[in-house]
């Protein structure tokens, strides 16, 4: 009798020998993606910004999975700094197979009171940061004729949200970026996809006012907040061979919140 790979205890989503660059992997969704990828055998470059203590703890947890791990502090919104960090990562790991643009911030407020600086900061980190990292690894992926780009957008980028014009614009922009990259690099065997999480329990959502949290939960058909692992599982699929022919797609992982 031949056992299927799952029955043999192997995962369908093998990432052995691959290297993943994950921005914002010091905590929350990014860290969960890093842990999942490491469990599947991938080496991990953790990018964070001003989150050294969490990054150090994440590196220890990741190393315990038996893979190569290194943390890099870099503001992804900074074009030159993100170029330098990708060069460093390529020197350290030799090759990059997967890029996850996950770093993100919020500066919520109605447009009436939103400061110009709050709009610019969110666009710079969430959207331009993803562009910067993609741009700096673009030629590498092209030359290797393979690569996976996974952008962590949001359902707010699909539907908009009062009080989040900056964030929704950035997240919608990420979807445009994803589809454009998918068209530009498809012939080079590079896929680009986006995940649109709904309401996921992390430091970011723990920081929301109680009323807003309750309203968000009430709007979820599945009646629970998502777990970071819910996003990590879909990211693992997109990074794996199982998703080889999936590109330019946006996958909602939201318990039905944006149906």
* Of the candidate residues 205, 237, 249, 258, the single one contacting ligand NAI (CB under 6 A): 205
| Contact flag: residue 105 with ligand NAI (CB under 6 A) | yes
Q: Which stretch binds ligand NAI (CB under 6 A): 45-53, 90-98, 107-115, 185-193?
A: 45-53
CA of 59: how far to CAs of 24, 27, 154, 202, 207, in Å? Answer: 13, 11, 26, 19, 25
For residue 175, how many other CB atoms are within 10 A of its CB? 18
| Contact flag: residue 131 with ligand NAI (CB under 6 A) | no
3-state SS, residue 60: helix
| Contact flag: residue 61 with ligand NAI (CB under 6 A) | no
Measured from the CB atom, is 26 or 191 closer to ligand NAI? 26
* Of the candidate residues 43, 86, 202, 240, the single one contacting ligand NAI (CB under 6 A): 202
Q: Tell me the closest approach of the beta carbon of residue 204 to ligand NAI, in angstroms.
A: 3
Contact 170, 156 (CB under 8 A): no
Please say if 167 is a catalytic residue: yes
| Contact flag: residue 169 with ligand NAI (CB under 6 A) | no
Contact 85, 61 (CB under 8 A): no
Measured from the CB atom, is 130 or 182 closer to ligand NAI? 130
DSSP E strands, the chain: 19-23, 43-48, 69-73, 98-101, 147-152, 190-197, 250-253
Catalytically active residues are: 167
């Amino acid at each position: 009798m031949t056992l299927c790979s799952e029955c043999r205890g192997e995962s369908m989503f093998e990432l052995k020998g691959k290297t993943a660059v994950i921005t914002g992997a010091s905590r929350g969704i990014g860290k969960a993606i890093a842990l999942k990828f490491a469990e599947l055998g991938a080496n991990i470059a953790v990018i964070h910004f001003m989150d050294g203590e969490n990054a150090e703890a994440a590196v220890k947890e990741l190393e315990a999975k038996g893979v190569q791990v290194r943390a890099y502090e870099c503001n992804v919104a900074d074009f030159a700094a993100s170029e330098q960090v990708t060069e460093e990562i390529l020197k350290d790991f030799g090759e990059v197979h997967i890029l996850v643009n996950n770093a993100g911030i919020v500066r919520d407020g109605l447009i009436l009171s939103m400061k110009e600086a709050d709009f610019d900061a969110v666009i710079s980190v969430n959207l331009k940061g993803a562009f910067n990292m993609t741009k700096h690894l673009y030629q590498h992926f092209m030359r290797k004729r393979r690569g996976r780009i996974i952008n962590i957008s949001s359902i707010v980028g699909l539907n908009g949200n009062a009080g989040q014009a900056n964030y929704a614009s950035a997240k919608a922009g990420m979807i445009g970026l994803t589809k454009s990259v998918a068209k530009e690099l498809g012939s080079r065997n590079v896929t680009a996809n986006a995940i649109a999480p709904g309401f996921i329990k992390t430091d970011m959502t723990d920081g929301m006012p109680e009323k807003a949290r309750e309203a968000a939960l009430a709007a979820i058909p599945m009646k629970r907040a998502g777990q970071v692992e819910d996003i990590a599982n879909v990211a693992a699929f997109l990074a794996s061979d199982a998703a080889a022919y999936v590109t330019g797609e946006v996958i909602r992982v939201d318990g039905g919140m944006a149906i």
